[in-house]
Structure 1
Amino acid sequence: MANRIIHQWKSISLVEEDITLPNSKTVTHTTIKHPGAAIILPLTENGDIVLINQYRPSLKKWLLEIPAGTIETGEDAITCAHRELIEETGLQASEMHTLGQVTPLAGFCDEIQHLFIAKRLTPNHSHTCDDDEIIEVVTMSLKQLQQKIIDGCITDAKTIACLSKATLCGYI
């Protein structure tokens, strides 16, 4: 049976399909199809981290998180990372290092999140947020950021994953 699109919103769709599992059993599975995202950990010259405080309508609350965004059609992950950094923070990076990928919601979504660390930041005044984004830029030390994670003030999984990967890779 063919894929059945149940709902479409922007570049994200809810798709139902019949699939055969490795044990040869056929099941109907519903997946959120997502083009992927770029997640950016912006690091200032003195080692501080640039975050955004963003209102998230799905949760009806503000989340303190690192900049991120959905990859557009025809765009690669690093181009998306550069674009989203400018759009959400008003900063551009002359150094962007890849930290690999994470799969945030593998049980029901095919999204791949591409992790980056951005360095050598300079202002770029051409930034504009999307119509549905309300964002405040916040800068804090690594120690402050880690404490906010410990205290439960930062619960955003992509922020915690990217910070962990950057730390494990020796970037911070």
Structure 2
Amino acid sequence: MTTDGFDRSGESSRSGGPDEDLAWETLDSAVDYSCPGFDVRRDEVRLPGGRETEFHSVDEPGTVVVLPFTPDGDVVLVEEWRQAVGRVNRGLPAGTVEATDGDDLAAAARRELREETGHEAGTTSHLTTVEPANGIANSVHHYFLARGCRPSAEQELDADESIRPVVADYDEFRASVFAGDVRDGRAVLAVSRYEAGE
């Protein structure tokens, strides 16, 4: 079963509930293209009115996103080249949940923080979970708050990562988020959710 509510084996998972009049029936599903990090999936679907068509979407594993604070209250950020937009992006440590993480999402968050920034979290707590682009992807992002983060290791970057960790004043970063100067959606959501809960 996938996060969109369908069994990719081709059997619809519609249960006759209140949303049945909106649900699409998945007739068949296959991966059209695979690359490191995600697949492009093609579903053959039947729409509520009976018409059959194809729908393509991005299929990717779960992701953890970390809003990390140092003991002094500064925030640990990453500056990373983003090829899709052709610029360096200032955002938060984030990465794929790996099979070795099992169901321990907090462990995945601590690992990504360490690998991307060289910082170790003192404590972690779940902030929120969202589907950031569920019109085109089955992505699920799990956000964590990390406190007491201290530099303790060297970065362990993937071969296709160009990342520079930086420690910044949180109030200044928050102001830049709310001023619209930060374009990274994950950073904007994390800071907004954190501020809403304070």
Pick one of 12, 24, 30 that aligns with 2:38.
12
Q: Which amino acid aligns with 2:172?
A: Q
Alignment of 1:19-98 (within 5 A): 19-21=45-47, 26-75=52-101, 76=103, 77-98=105-126
User: What CA distance in whole angstroms lies between the structure 1 residues aligned with 2:141 and 2:63?
Assistant: 5
**Residues in 1 aligned to 2:47 and 2:183: alpha-carbon distance in whole angstroms:** 33
Q: Secondary structure at the match of 1:2?
A: strand
What's the counterpart of residue 114 of structure 1? Answer: 142
Return closer, same or farther for 1:139/1:31 CA change in 2, 3 Å cut-off: same
Deviates more, 1:30-39 or 1:144-153: 144-153
Deviation at 1:128, TM superposition (A): 1.1
Distance in 1 between residues matched to 2:48 and 2:98, nearest whole Å? 32
Change (3 A) 1:22 1:55: same
SS at match of 1:54: strand
Give TM-score, length-normalised by structure 1.
0.90
Aligned to 1:169: 197
> TM-score scaled by structure 2?
0.79
Which of 6, 24, 28 is the matching residue for 1:2? 28
Query: Any unmatched runs of 5+ in structure 1?
Result: none
Task: For residue 149 of structure 1, give the secondary structure of its aligned residue in structure 2.
Answer: helix
Deviates more, 1:17-26 or 1:113-122: 17-26
Q: Is 2:28–2:45's contact at 8 Å kept on the other side of the alignment?
A: no
For 2:31, give the aligned amino acid.
Answer: I
Structure 2 CA distance, aligned partners of 1:4 and 1:83? Answer: 32
Aligned to 1:100: 128
Query: Does the aligned pair in 1 maintain the 2:127–2:144 contact within 8 Å?
Result: yes
* Structure 1 residue 127: Cα displacement: 2.9
Q: Call closer, same or farther: CA 1:114–1:22 in 2, change over 3 Å.
A: farther
SS of 1:3's partner is strand
Checking the alignment, whether the CA contact within 8 Å between 2:76 and 2:168 is kept in structure 1 is yes
User: Does the C-alpha gap of structure 1 residues 11 and 54 become closer, same or farther in structure 2, counting only changes over 3 Å?
Assistant: closer
Q: CA deviation at 1:52?
A: 0.6
Gaps of 5+ in 2: 1-26
- Choose between structure 1 and 2: higher strand proportion: 1
1:127 corresponds to which of 155, 158, 163: 155
Percentage identity across aligned positions? 25
Distance 1:19 1:74, change over 3 A: farther
Quote the offset at 1:26 in angstroms.
Answer: 4.1
